[in-house]
Structure 1
Amino acid sequence: MKKKWLSLLVMFVLLAGVLAACGTSESSSNGSGEGESKKKLIMGTSADYPPFEFIDTAKGDEIIGVDPDIAHAVAKKLGYEVEIRDMDFGGLIQALQSGQVDFVLSAMSATEDRKKNVDFSEIYYTSKHMIVTKKGSDIASIDDLEGKTVGTQLGSIQETKAKDLAKEMDMKVENRNRIPELIQEIKAGRLDAAIIEDTVAQGFFEKDEELDGFTIEDADGGYAIALPKNSELTEEFNEALKEMIDNGEVDEIIKKWFSKE
């Protein structure tokens, strides 16, 4: 009889310990109370766009750049931690809408069309387009794209720009998921040119002497943080980002990454 009661007592103690452990895990993940872990937000990005977001494979697999730095700085001000997930640019809005990510920071222009589906923060950077070609090509102006095949990143503002140009001239537009794919297609002769954000293009020019290009008119919108439509996070993200813009923190981050070779 004593053995039976002793066995029951041991089982009770073990069960109590398991329940206590579960309770500790749950409370530490909700971000409330002292000594508990911060709330975590998932950031979506397409890590193929240096210096905004990329992976320096020589140093590891961490996603680094302008946008991750801005994300971590904003999150720190608001008491969050950030986990960054890499995905194709064309799927970022859908990931945001489906709840796979909490916000998107990926050199994304705040266009009127995108504003129909997501909220945007303050603009933190305004970009320009660049026509990228293989050195020695006969493309030196917009007019020279007549009859050519031009590549863009799927879902980007440059894709929209290319489609607009294709309405005015005989120009074929082809999309790729990643910027390095566009560069390889140009070098292989499968694309005559590509439209890429100018700062990103400059990074490729510095590393590859086979490439050439020229800048065209400013892009519509400007880069901003994208959040779910009517999200409670939009206002607090906007306030934190605006503070960083006003006090020069964003400029410091941009200068840090733009000055890197």
Structure 2
Amino acid sequence: MTITRRLFGAALGAAMAAGVALPAAAQSASQALISDSVITQIQEEGVIRIGLSLFVPWSMRDVNGDLIGFELDVGRQLAEDMGVEVEFVPTAWDGIIPALLAGNFDVIISGMSVTPQRNLTVNFTDPYAFSGLAILANREMTAGMSLEDLNSPDVIFSARRGATPAVVIADRFPEAQLLLFDEDGAAAQEVLNGNAHATMASQPSPNREAGRHPDVLYVPFDQLFDPRGEGFAVRRGDPDALNYFNNWIAQQWRSGWLQERHDYWFATEDWADQVAQ
């Protein structure tokens, strides 16, 4: 009987100790997550560093060389609401995810479409913008051609390296040739110069380019390709960052601010005189 009571007492004591240890361990793990979160780092440093790649009208240089665009409005408002300064880090598109993972900046806000492939490497917030891709073509080179005709070894597409249009073109027109460039502007210039039949980009860029050069360029099809949302990209394993950014995006949708800013940059050209033509 004595042994039984002693065993019971030992078991009870162990259970009580475990009951105390488990909450303590959980609290310690929670504190570690908080201290490791990029949100904590941003607050401690007093600055949020945002990686972006330049393409109209998401982010671009004005006539004075300053950064303007939809992303800049989003990033500045986000920093203001967090009570910190903002630093924008222009980065080549094909290196922007590796740069995020290397810690060169805290978050990517650069019109990045949410894809399963990218999601294996980074975490995405809820969409803060929605867009689709359209074909911009050279009138003379593609006159009378259908979508099916563009899928030919005799057809040349141009696109920005590592961007969604390059992936969509390769998938939708696998027989066509594909020239890759570091900037959207260079891809469109190839079409304008007659060195490529067509390119693909997020609207309203194709419509804007066609409007600037109506004798040479046009948008031959009403079809939008790969319509999807764009999200902030953050490093994996940071639930606090996803929570904060998602709540911020939801609030800006509810207030109408995101829609108003998106309409300004994508549905008007009120800003066009700020950019070198």
Tell me the TM-score normalized by structure 1. Answer: 0.79
Q: Provide the C-alpha distance between the structure 1 equivalents of 2:116 and 2:42, rounded to a whole number of angstroms.
A: 35
Aligned residue runs from structure 1 range 191-206, under 5 A: 191-206=196-211
- 2:77 is matched with 73
SS in 2 for 1:221: strand
Residue from 54, 59, 64 that aligns with 1:53 = 59
- Deviation track 1:106-144 (CA, whole Å, cap 9, x = no partner) reads 111011111111111111222111111122332543212
Percent identity of paired positions between Structure 1 and Structure 2: 21
- C-alpha distance in 1 between matches for 2:43 and 2:251: 24
Structure with greater proportional strand content: 1
Alignment of 1:94-243 (within 5 A): 94-138=98-142, 140-147=145-152, 148-167=155-174, 170-209=175-214, 210-213=216-219, 214-231=221-238, 232-243=240-251
Deviation, structure 1 residue 215: 3.9
**1: distance between equivalents of 2:196 and 2:110?**
25
Alpha-carbon distance change, 215 to 81 in structure 1, aligned in 2, over 3 angstroms: farther
Which structure shows the bigger proportion of residues in helix conformation? Answer: 2
The alpha carbon displacement at 1:174 in A equals: 2.0
Residue number in structure 1 paired with 2:9: none
Q: Secondary structure at the match of 1:109?
A: coil
Distance 1:89 1:219 in 2: 19
Question: Contact (CA 8 Å) 1:78, 1:236: kept in 2 or not?
Answer: no
Q: Is the 8 A contact 1:128 1:215 kept in 2?
A: no
Q: Give the equivalent residue in structure 2 for 1:91.
A: 95
Cα contact 1:53–1:63 (8 A) shared by 2: yes
Match of 1:5 in 2: none
CA contact (8 A) 1:128 1:216 kept: no
SS of the residue aligned with 1:222?
strand
Report how far residue 229 of structure 1 moved.
1.3
TM-score of the aligned structures, taking structure 2 as reference length: 0.74
Tell me, what secondary structure is at the counterpart of 2:204?
helix
Q: Distance in 2 between matches of 1:217 and 1:30?
A: 38
How far residue 250 of structure 1 moved from its aligned partner, in angstroms, is 0.1
Q: CA deviation at 1:40?
A: 0.8
Give the distance between the partners of 2:151 and 2:259, measured in 1 at CA. Answer: 38
The 1:124/1:215 distance shift into structure 2, 3 A limit, reads farther
Single out whichever of 97-106 and 144-153 deviates more from structure 2.
144-153
> In structure 2, the residue corresponding to 1:173 is in which secondary structure?
strand
Partner of 2:33: none
Q: RMSD of the alignment, in Å?
A: 2.0
What is the CA distance between 1:220 and its match in structure 2?
Answer: 4.8
How far apart are residue 93 of structure 1 and its match? 0.7
Instruction: Please tell me the residue identity of whatever aligns with 1:159.
Output: A
Instruction: Find 1:42's aligned residue among 37, 49, 63.
Output: 49
**Conserved? CA contact 2:59–2:71, under 8 Å:** yes
Return the offset for 1:216: 2.7
Match of 2:111, SS?
coil
Q: Does the CA-based 8 Å contact 2:207-2:218 persist in structure 1? A: no
Distance 2:180 2:165 in 1: 10
Shift of 1:172: 1.5
- 5+ residue gaps in structure 1? 1-28, 33-37
Q: Classify 1:30/1:87 alpha carbon distance in 2 versus 1 (closer, same or farther; 3 Å).
A: closer
Aligned-pair distance for 1:175?
Answer: 1.3
